[in-house]
Structures are given as C-alpha cells and as structure tokens.
Amino acid sequence: IQNVSEESEKSGGLAHLRQILLSAILDDGNVSIGCPSIGLNFRSKRLSRKKVLIVFDDVSTSEQMEFLIGNQGWLMQGSRLIITARDKQVLKNCGVDTIYEVKELFDDDARMLFSRYAFGKNYPNVGYMELSNKIIKYAKGVPLAIKVLGRFLCGRRIKDWESTIKKIKRIPHVDIQKVLKVSFDGLDDEEQNLFLDIASFFKGEDKDCVIKFLDGCGFSAEIGISVLVDKCLMVILNNKIMMHDLLQEMGREIVRQESIKDPGKRSRLWHHEDIYNVLTNNTGTEAIEGISLDMSKVKEIHLNAGSFTNMHKLRFFKFYSSHYGENVNKVHNFRGLESTELRYLQWHGCPLKSLSSKIPPENLVSLEMPHSSIKQLWKGVQRLVNLKHINLSHSEHLTKIPDLSLATNLESLNFQGCTCLLETHSSIQYLNKLVVLNLKHCRSLTSLSTSIHLGSLKKLILSGCSNLMSFPELSCNIEELSLDGTAIQEFPSSIERLSSLILLNLGNCLRLEGLPSKICKLKSLERLNLAEALKELKAEGIAIREVPSSIACLKNLGRLSFESFMCHEQMGLLLPISFGLTSLTYLRLTDCGIIELPECLGQLSSRSILLLEKNNFERIPESIIQLSHLFSLGISHCERLHSLPELPCDLSDIEAHCCSSLEALSGLSILFTQTSWNSQFFYFVNCFKLDKNELKEIIKDAQRKMQLKATAWWEELEKQHCEVPRGMICFPGSELPEWFMFQSMGSSATFNLPPDWFSYNFVGFALCAVVGFRDHHDDGGGFQVFCECKLKTEDGLCRVAVGHLTGWSDGYRGPRYIGSDHVFLGFDFYMFSDGFDEYYYSDEVFIQFYLEDCCEVTKCGIHLLYAQDFSDSTEDSVWNFSSDEQGELPLQPPPPPKRLKYSVSQSPV
C-alpha cells in the first residue's frame, strides 16, 4: 500500500486504500465496505482465514493504520506487517515489535543502483567510472539521491556530468531537495528553527553544549532534538549531534532560499565567501542571527565601522580555524558588536585586549576565546546570569580572572595554558553551579583561594601548575582531582573527606615524598594515577620514599606497579612487611632501588606475574615458593642478586637478563624434576658468573625435563584436544650438551637417522643452537630463534617441520647488549603437531637454524625424544629412556605405527 500519507490528504483517500487492501487480501475485486471501520463479524469470518504479508509505505500517523486495518487481532497467526515511516514516534504509536533504521548503501551496491538508472546496466560506461564515483560519494549511500541523479544524468555528455557535479556542491538537486524537505515541512516553527541552527552550525558538536545554547535562545531544545531524532533528521552518536550530508545540505538550501542573491538578508551565514562579502561591503541586516567563519579559508578580512552595525538579532558568533594548531587571527579593525541577543561567542585568536564596551555580555551563554590576546575580560562586576561556559585557554597574556560573583550559573571555567595567570579571584568559591575548573599548565599560579568548597564542583584540573605548592580545601563531592606535575609536598589531612573522589592524579609530583595513610579511606576511588587505576595502581617517576602499610586495604587491587622512583637517599623504595593483597595478579617493582624485599610478597592470584627488574637486593625471600600461582618472574638487571631460592613448581617464565652477580641456580632444580604441563622459558642472558658445575647439572636436568614433557604429551595425545608444550633455557656458553646425539658446526647440517629410529613413542626433537652475537645491540625489536627440519626418505620424499626455540619479543624487558656466545636449548612439540605417521620411513634429517641480523649460529644439534611407556616399566627405569652413558639412544624395534587422531592448540609464546 504505497504513499499512505499522501493519499490520506485526498478526499476519500484512505477509504480507497482500504478498498485496495481488502480486494488484494480476499482476491475479490468487487468487495466493498462503505462503513468507516471494518465490521467485527466480517473480520473474524473472512480475513482471519488468511496469513498475509502487508507493507504500508510512508505512514505519518497511527490513525491511518487504525483506519486501514483496525485492531490487528483479526490477523491470522504468522501474518506480518511492515510499516515505513519518517517518524520513529509513529512506529511506536502503532505498537510495532521491532524498529529497523534503513542503512546507507555500500559503495558497490550504490554504484550498481546508479548505473542501472544512468546507463541501463549494472556498471558505468567506459570513461564514466571516475565521474560515477564522485556522484556516489556525494549521495553517501542514499538510494533516493542515487536514483534522482542517475535519471538526471542518463544520456548526457561528460561535460554535462562535470557541470552537474560542480553545481550540486553548491546547490542541491531540486528533486532530492523536494523529497527530503517533506520531513522538514512537518515540523512546527520552533523545531524548524532548531533544525536550521543545527544544520548551519552544530553538526558534530556535543549535544549537551548545543542544548544549553539553544535553551538560552528561548527554545525547548531537549524535546525539540528528540523530535528531530525520531523523524530521522539527525542522530546522536557518542553524545554528538550527527546529520547526513544531504539533510545538512537541505537545511542550508532552505536558508539560502531566504535571499538567493543577497546573503546579508539570510538568517544564517557559514560560507566564507558570503561572510567576507557581507562584512567588507557592510551588507549585513537584522535578518542575520548567526555567523560561523572558518578563518583558515580566508586570507585577511579588514572590517570597517559598519560591518556589524545592523546585525541587531545576532545570537551566534563563531570565528575559528579548522586547521589544527592554526590560531592566527585574520579579522582586523573589529569595532564591536551591538546585538544584545548574542548568546554564543567563539573567536580563536581574538586580538582584543579586553571585551569592555566591545561586546554586550549580559545574555551570553558561552564565551570561548582560546589563544586570544585578552589581558582582562572586563572591569568591575558584570551581571552574567545566563553565562554557563568561559574558555580562555592558552590566552597567554591573561593575568587575572575577573570578579564572577554575579555569573551565578557558570558551569565550567577553562584557563588551561594561561601561563601569565598569577591568581584566581575569590569569587570562584561562590559559583555554586560550577562543575569543571581547568587551570592546567598555569605555570605562574602559586596558590588558589583558601577554599573552593563548592558542592557542585566535580572536576578540578591543576596538572602542570609547576609552582603550585598547595591546594585548597575541597568539597566532598569532587570526583576528579588532577595534581600531576605540581610542586605539592604533602596532602591536607582533609583528603579523607573526599568521599566521591574517583580519579586522583599525582604523576610526576617531584616534591611529593609520601602518600597519606588515610588515602585508603577514599571509598569511591577507582583510579589513582601515580599513574593509573585502583584496580590497577601505577606509580611512575615520583619521589615517594615509602609505600604505606595501609595499601593492604585496597582489597580489589589486581595490578600494582611502582617504577622509576626518584628516591633522595640510597636506601631505595621502602616496602611494607607484607602487601597482603589477595587479589593481586600483577606486581611490578621496577627500578626502585630496592635493597631488601619483604619476607611476604603477598598471596598472588591465578597466573600471576612478579617483576622485580633493576633493583639492588641480593636475595629473594625463600617464601617466594609459597606463591603457588606464580606464572612469570622478572629479575633482569638485578646486578647484586647472587642466587635463586627454591621456586614455585608451576613457574613458566624466568627473565634474568644481565644479573651480573648471579652464581647459583640450585633453585631451578625443582622446576626440572616436576611434571608441569605448561610451557616454560628461562632466560639467563649475560649472566657470566653462573657456576659451571651448576650449569652442567642444569643441562642434565633439562634433558630429564624434556623427557618428562615428552611422556606427558604422548599420554595427552589420546585425548581429542591438548595444548602443545614448548620449552627453552638460554645461558652464556659456546658448547652443545654432550648428550645430544647429532651435533654439527654452523647453522645447518644433515644427519643420517638410525635404521630403527622411528618408534611408536617418538614425540619429536630436542633442539640446541649456540649463537654468536658479535656485540649485538637490540634496537627494541627483540630476538627470536627458529629451526627448520626436513626429513627425507630413500624415495626422495621430504617432510618439513618448523620449530621455534623462542627468544624475547619485548625489547624493553630484553637485553639491549649481548657481548658473547649463548646457548639456546629447548624443544617445540608443535613441530610434529600434525601427526607422526608421515615421518615413519624417513632416513635422513636436515636442520637449519635461522635468526636475527648481526648474529650467527656457530653450532647446532638435535636429539631424538621418546616418551617412556610406563605400562611395562619399573619405577627404577623411569629415567633410562633417553640415552645411555655413552650417549647412544636405546632404540626399540618399531611395532606397526600407531595412528593417533587428535587436535592441538598452540601454547602462547
């Protein structure tokens, strides 16, 4: 049923549509119902017997639907109604189940639709593709515009196309304008003015700010914008007012039509050429209500005495630059404004020294003059009861804030970057509606009013006020307090009363030497920027001497990071006896000069990480073994650390780069004798004092560990899903382990496999490479070691398996300089994760190790790994399934190959 709204305006139009509807449903062209509504008996006896799909196009009121179908209860179960409308509220009134907003066409679909109307086929003619794409870009996926322009351009010359494209950038096509304007015509006068204001000036602006301006102009903006959204004339995205380009053009064309030849007689001006002509030729009239000039699009404008004289109704004034960082004023000889209707004033780079006598301020709602030359806004007290926002950010000549005691409705003050501002005015403490006070980077500011006890203040920004040594008493309602980069030395005791505080920013407070013990009484605190949040507390680059024991009160703290503390003494950061944080999964104490770790490091939760890099302690407490969930331990650059204690058996990762005093690794033994399923990586790069005898034992233990892993994985293969383990240890050295069966010089080698090498319990290779780093400097990209194995048969068939010994990917945590050879020893069962049967007849293996530039593999080797079959072995034979004392592998006769069907998931590197 097409054009319901249009037909309803005709005499008998709805009755005619209902006749068409009933005839179609009943398949009877002679049916006729003359009564105003459909009778109950008729509905129930005849219409309820059919399942129907009915589409009603362009419905404008719910009464139209009521007339056409009455109560929907007569419809047979399974029937469907589709209603199209321009107003979302109409659909709600009709009681629809689901509202779907038609989306714009994608470019490919738009091009096909356009081509059908312009060329009579699904693609453009030769030579018209670029022009077609310009039309599609202009239409922005709207089918109406695509169809209209396609019909209009069909059969026309290329010159006609080019002229049309140029024209529609200035003046919308009349047929498109006519259809889009239907929704505009359905608005009342106030809603139309709201739409024209938004189309002219506010597309992409914050909804709340726009509402305050429009309310200040006497509009009911909240409901007005809601109506415009319901009528699909705009949308709200992330609290920004957005509008389709064609709708914005439609609104601006309505304004242009007010006076096509003389822009000075239009209500709103936004085009830079129109504004230039009006201001320089003195053609402005009282019709002008708003001006928005992008100064980046003009060279210079030299005003004269009459430029603004006749603009008595001017309520919106905006001079700005769309080029980021360009704040140079290009408007000269400004004599002032005479309009008492002015509500919004924004002028980037305003050259005025003061606004006194230049601009009537009494009705201002918003005053924004960033990067201005203002030294003093005005003298004395101004009655500014409508003013809600003042933004003088980066006005570097501003020295003082005026008396604002009569600006009783002010909600935000922004003086960010006013580097000459010496003081704030005491009247600020009486602004009972002030929500935001921004004094960021006011470097000359040394103090504030003794009290800013405003119940409305939610956000106080003092970041970068490098000479500010104290801050005033604050209301308990404040939610964000930014003091980073200030010179404060201590907190007032009243900080515990800030019960609503969510964010406290203290980063780079170089003189701050202590956190108040009562900080944990801030019940609402979520983010404490010593740099981050209170489920994550991060403190960087500050001079705190000691972490208070009260930190244990933060029961929900999951991540705690102290890094790069600038302690004034040689003692380093002092830690509490116990952290007592049961939710902690990440504890980082990096570059804090710590001399002694607490005996109790807390109760770290599942898969937790402990990073202690760049500190001065000589030992790690033996209590670390109680951290049963410890997953990763970082102790790199702890140059005084001598030994490792016994470590938790599930530890998967140890990074101990550049521990220049580290000698004893006996604590690793438990990690090599326990069967843990997770992958394990141990790094001891540049640890040149490691005891040689202990290293030999570690290498033997590594062999045992690999075979434990091999057995565990072999048993898991019977399952349908298993994680593939990897493992690696890296340490200074230049020799391969003696127990490696196949060894060679260089980065590659070919080895002949024993005749019966393939057994049903073969699981893969142990891998080893000696890497010569040749004074290697890491630029931050990390370091990786890879191995490619090619197994060949007598018939020349070749199977390739690629392994990864794993290096380090984080250049920040990895070593920056490596000065000698290092051994990389490990395994990667992922090499054969696709099954083993294909390798059964191989008799030769070729290996190739490859790695980063400026390094080379000087020696390499592989060793066959077999799982132990416990079904017929005694306990004493558990460790005798790899090699005998002469290094020879006790091979078993291969039974018929066992086919294992399984799926694997790669473990994280």
Q: At what angle do helices 62-69 and 13-26 cross, to 10 degrees?
A: 50
Report pLDDT for 880: 33
**Among 223-237, 550-564, 638-652, where is mean pLDDT lowest?**
550-564
CA distance 232 to 101: 9
Q: Which of 341-350, 584-593, 900-909 has the lowest mean pLDDT?
A: 900-909
In this prediction, residues 53-70 reach a mean pLDDT of 88
pLDDT at 812 over 60: no
pLDDT band, very low/low/confident/very high, at 870 (cuts 50, 70, 90): very low
- Banded model confidence at residue 906, pLDDT cuts 50, 70, 90: very low
Counting Cβ atoms within 10 Å, is residue 184 exposed (0-12), middle (13-18) or buried (19+)? buried
Give the global pTM.
Answer: 0.59
CA dihedral sign, ordered 214, 215, 217, 221: positive
Confidence band of 326 (pLDDT split at 50, 70, 90): low
- Asked if 896 and 822 touch (Cβ cutoff 8 Å), the reply is no
For residue 798, what pLDDT is reported?
Answer: 84
Tell which wins on pLDDT, 763 or 671. Answer: 763
What pLDDT sits at residue 905?
Answer: 37
What is the arithmetic mean of pLDDT over 265-290?
95
Which carries the bigger pLDDT value, residue 805 or residue 634? Answer: 634
Q: Percentages helix, strand, coil for the chain, rounded to the nearest 5?
A: 25, 20, 55
DSSP-derived pairing of the beta strands 856-866 and 762-772:
antiparallel
Residue owning tokens 């190739």: 848
> Which range, of 195-199, 516-520, 808-812, averages the lowest pLDDT?
808-812
d(CA 293, CA 306) in angstroms, rounded, equals: 18
Mean pLDDT calculated for residue range 464-490: 88
Q: Return d(Cα 527, Cα 525) in angstroms, integer.
A: 6
- pLDDT-derived band at 584, boundaries 50, 70, 90: confident
Average pLDDT, the chain: 83
What is the rounded CA–CA span in Å between residue 334 and residue 337?
9
| Strands (E) located in 516-569 | 527-530, 532-533, 536-540, 559-563
Most confident of 377-386, 414-423, 773-782: 414-423
Q: How many CA atoms lie within 13 A of 720 on its CB side?
A: 0
**Percent of the chain scoring above 90 in pLDDT:** 37
Cβ neighbours of residue 294 closer than 8 Å, sequence gap 6 or more: 272, 320, 321, 322
Measure the CA–CA gap between 726 and 419, rounded to whole angstroms.
57
Rounded to whole angstroms, the Cα distance separating 676 from 37 reads 79
Contact (CB, 8 A) for 650 and 629: yes
Which has the minimum average pLDDT: 107-121, 152-166, 544-558? 544-558
**Greatest CA separation for the chain:** 109
Token code pair at residue 338: 């005479």
Q: What is the pLDDT of residue 327?
A: 61
The pLDDT tens digits of the residues spanning 825-853 come to: 999 888 876 666 666 678 889 999 988 66
What is the mean pLDDT of the segment spanning 359-384?
A: 89
Q: Is the pLDDT of residue 726 over 60?
A: yes
Spatial contact of 724 and 833, defined as CB atoms under 8 Å apart: yes
Measured CA to CA, the distance from residue 544 to residue 906 in angstroms comes to 43
Q: Residue 256 has what pLDDT?
A: 95
Q: Encoding tokens for residue 630?
A: 């410890």
Closest by CA to 457, choosing from 426, 486, 481, is 481
C-alpha to C-alpha distance for 546 and 577, rounded to whole angstroms = 12
Q: Has residue 890 got a pLDDT over 70?
A: no
Per mean pLDDT, which range of 211-215, 531-535, 555-559 is the poorest?
531-535
User: Which residue from 272, 336, 289, 274 is spatially nearest to 308, judged by alpha carbons?
Assistant: 336
Tell me, what's the pLDDT at 566?
A: 59
241 within 8 A of 204, measured Cβ to Cβ: yes
Instruction: With beta carbons less than 8 A apart as the criterion, state whether 308 and 331 touch.
Output: no
Give residue-wise pLDDT tens across range 605-615: 667 899 999 99
Q: Which residues pair with 729 in a beta bridge?
A: 682, 825
Q: Which amino acid is at 11?
A: S
How far, in whole angstroms, is CA 638 from its chain's centroid? Answer: 35
Torsion over CA of 252, 256, 257 and 262, rounded to 10 degrees?
Answer: 170
Please determine, for residue 891, whether its predicted confidence score (pLDDT) is greater than 70.
no
pLDDT at 667 over 80: no
pLDDT greater than 90 at residue 392: yes
* pLDDT reading at 599 higher than 90: no
Amino acid at 296: S
pLDDT (mean) for 586-598: 88
User: Which tokens hold the place of 123?
Assistant: 């693609």
Reported as a pLDDT band with limits 50, 70 and 90, residue 635 is very high
Type of residue found at 830: Y
Residue 889 pLDDT grade (very low, low, confident, very high; cuts 50, 70, 90): very low
pLDDT at position 523 = 76
Report, in angstroms and rounded to the nearest whole number, the Rg of the chain calculated over CA atoms.
39
Q: Which CATH code for domain 190-257? A: 1.10.10
Contact 524, 553 (CB under 8 A): no
Q: Which one has a higher pLDDT value, 375 or 492?
A: 375
pLDDT tens digit sequence for 150-186: 999 999 999 999 999 998 888 888 888 888 888 899 8
Tokens describing residue 503: 């964010």
Residues 6+ apart with CB under 8 A from 15: none
- What is the Cα 865 distance to its own chain's centre? 46
Residue 829 dihedral angles phi and psi, to the nearest 5°: -70, -10
Cα separation of 260 and 240, whole Å?
Answer: 31
Q: Which of 86-100, 322-336, 455-469, 646-660 has the lowest mean pLDDT?
A: 322-336
Answer whether residue 42 shows pLDDT above 70.
no
Q: What is the structure's pLDDT at 3?
A: 84
Cβ atoms 646, 622 nearer than 8 A:
yes
487 to 506, 507, 510: CA distances (angstroms): 10, 11, 7
Most confidently modeled of 190-199, 529-538, 680-689, 764-773?
Answer: 190-199
- pLDDT value at position 892? 39
**Six-digit token pair at 346?**
């924004």
